[in-house]
Amino acid sequence: MTAHAVSDDQLARTLGLASNSITDDLERQVLRPDGSVNHDSGLDVDLDPDLVRSLYRDMVVVRRLDQEAFHLQRQGQLGLWLSCRGQEAAQVGSARATQDRDWIFPAYREHGVGVVRGVTPAELLSQWRGCSHGGWDPAKYRMHINSLVLGTQTLHATGYAMGVQADGADEVVIVYVGDGATSQGDVNEALNWAAVTGVPLVFFCQNNQWAISTRVDTQTARPLYHRAAAFGLDSICVDGNDVLAVHAATSAMFERVRAGGAPGFIEARTYRMAGHSTSDDPTRYRDDEEMKTWESRDPLERVRMLLDNNGWSDPAWLAEVETESDQIAAETRAACLSLPEPQLEDSFDHTYVEPTVALRQERAGYVTYQESFQ
């Protein structure tokens, strides 16, 4: 594939892409917080009731799994958890726009993307319980394992997309990145290299407003999608709490990139409702008023209102969704408790391919120390 093999300028105007320009700051929104539809979003939106219902179901399930995992961490069953609460629309909407043959490179908070791809609760929780370095087989789901080193997955995705380009394969790669990671050198190198080589890659930035305790407006003087456009990527900004806008924008971007267009960048403006992780106390750096503002923009509630306003749901169907969320919560808890409790001595066995003398001595010393308590 080569960059701009199709008429990107025309497509960019149709999609409302920045197209290497920083002349505006336009956040595209289809579904308003009150559940009403904006028909002037500039996006080609599918308001099919079946699609809306399935997106809502996915988001409900993801939120319930995330909530259960949070509780499991608080009960000592997980070593750490990074909640995706509030970001369900960004994750479900974008993941549902991919095709089975496409490859996904997550960061570490994309539990909703994993659910859409079919990753099981046990596989999602394994790493956070300390049972594995990565809980699932990447080849099975065409989804790479989590990357906890900030921004490194963007380089991995760019390299993989270069392979796709060389093979002439009909695949598009999507990589998830947070607003904070865009300040990393690795991410900027990946953006530049992807643009220069014209690989079939879409960067999906979940701008959740906070890089741990650092506000996004202290990291950049320009909107993030403008910065991506400056590198040469076609970029667009959407309301990340609007699953219909996210799905439409990602679908259009994938279609354009798959047809041979330049790599793309989507900035989805959303909000992290919980702390950065279960080790973080967000009340130390953000106030209640900010939380209330974003709670009023909840991604699930606006879809629920759209369904109710249009008669696309009924009590029986909503009860089914609630039952399914109860089932995923029970499955998540059972899956977590079925995972073996990690043993610290096992970590010595997986540090190097061939253990060093010093490592063997450290392991023996630790085992002797443990045995002294028996």
For the chain, list the domains and their CATH numbers.
8-342 (3.40.50.970), 344-374 (no CATH)
User: Which of the residues 57, 285, 286, 366 is marked catalytic?
Assistant: 285
User: 3-state class of 176 per DSSP?
Assistant: strand
Catalytic residue among 63, 85, 117, 276: 276
| Residue that the structure tokens 């456009």 belong to | 229
Per-residue pLDDT of the chain (374 residues; tens, 9 = 90+): 444 444 455 555 555 555 444 345 799 999 999 999 999 999 999 899 999 999 999 999 999 999 999 999 999 999 999 999 999 999 999 999 999 999 999 999 999 999 999 999 999 999 999 988 889 999 999 999 999 999 999 999 999 999 999 999 999 999 999 999 999 999 999 999 999 999 999 999 999 999 999 999 999 999 999 999 999 999 999 999 999 999 999 999 999 999 999 999 999 999 999 999 999 999 999 999 999 999 999 999 999 999 999 999 999 999 999 999 999 999 999 999 999 888 888 888 888 889 999 999 999 999 999 899 98
Do 38 and 12 touch, CB atoms closer than 8 A? no
Is 0.75 surpassed by the pTM of this model?
yes
DSSP structural state of residue 260: T
- Measure the CA dihedral 92/98/101/106, to 10°: -50
Relative to beta strand 214-215, strand 264-269 is unpaired
Does the annotation count 272 as an active-site position?
A: yes
Phi, psi angles (nearest 5°) of residue 234? -80, 125
Instruction: Of 193, 109, 113, 117, give the one whose Cα is nearest residue 147.
Output: 109
285 is catalytic: yes
Q: Which of 85, 129, 272, 302 is catalytic?
A: 272
> Parallel, antiparallel, or unpaired for β 201-207 and 214-215?
unpaired
For 17, 83, 236, 258, 322, the CA distances from 5, given in Å and listed in that order, are 17, 40, 20, 10, 46
Q: What is the pLDDT of residue 366?
A: 94
Tokens for 260, please give them.
């041979």
